[in-house]
Chains A and B, each alone.
Chain A
Amino acid sequence: GEDVEQSLFLSVREGDSSVINCTYTDSSSTYLYWYKQEPGAGLQLLTYIFSNMDMKQDQRLTVLLNKKDKHLSLRIADTQTGDSAIYFCAESITGNTPLVFGKGTRLSVIA
């Protein structure tokens, strides 16, 4: 079955890089996503990667995918206090099948 695992907490200093890790079990997952959730707000899609890619960069965000180990990471460069939030890793088998989320990683940025 599908399962997505994430570490629950991460604390970094402002200006440092943050790396949030995720492992998934379904090798048929084609799409992998990173969502951000701030208090009182819905989920915001930050970035995504297709399973035929190894890396994707989008401004301060870098996503790395290791398909062999079923490992996904999100690197946030120059982390700011506004990046403090819960970050969810999610997968879907196709672009139309439901998302399967991890439990989320709470990122705290210390000024």
Chain B
Amino acid sequence: DAGVTQSPTHLIKTRGQQVTLRCSPKSGHDTVSWYQQALGQGPQFIFQYYEEEERQRGNFPDRFSGHQFPNYSSELNVNALLLGDSALYLCASSPPGTGTILGYTFGSGTRLTVV
């Protein structure tokens, strides 16, 4: 049973560019949350998607946007990249009926480097 799959695992982008990160949730999960983990820091909540809608959002600018598809997979888009966007981006999925953190399964993350 595959867990949460994130792609790509690593990528390098230039300031000002746009990037799309992808997440496939664990089988049977319908809710996807995204977190940003800067080097030496704990993860910070970006937003959560459920039923193809953004359900909750953290303190991130509008440059960060997302999408959830009918198959529950999700994308995180970041526009006008800044050097400070360099981080590990983590996706977590959770199953229906709970929506709770206790059901979270985290992916291994995408390491984004902005140069």
Chain A residues with CB under 8 Å of chain B are: 4, 31, 33, 40-45, 48, 88, 90, 92, 95-104
Contacts and interface: CB of A to CB of B under 8 A. Distances in A.
28 contacts: A4-B42, A31-B102, A40-B108, A41-B108, A42-B4, A42-B105, A44-B106, A45-B102, A45-B104, A90-B42, A92-B101, A95-B98, A95-B99, A95-B102, A96-B100, A97-B56, A98-B33, A98-B45, A98-B58, A99-B35, A99-B43, A99-B45, A100-B45, A101-B44, A103-B40, A103-B41, A103-B42, A104-B41
Contacts of B104: 45
A42 B45 contact: no
Interface of B: 4, 33, 35, 40-45, 48, 56, 58, 90, 92, 98-102, 104-109
Nearest to B111: A40
B45 A48 contact: no
A44 B4 CA distance: 12
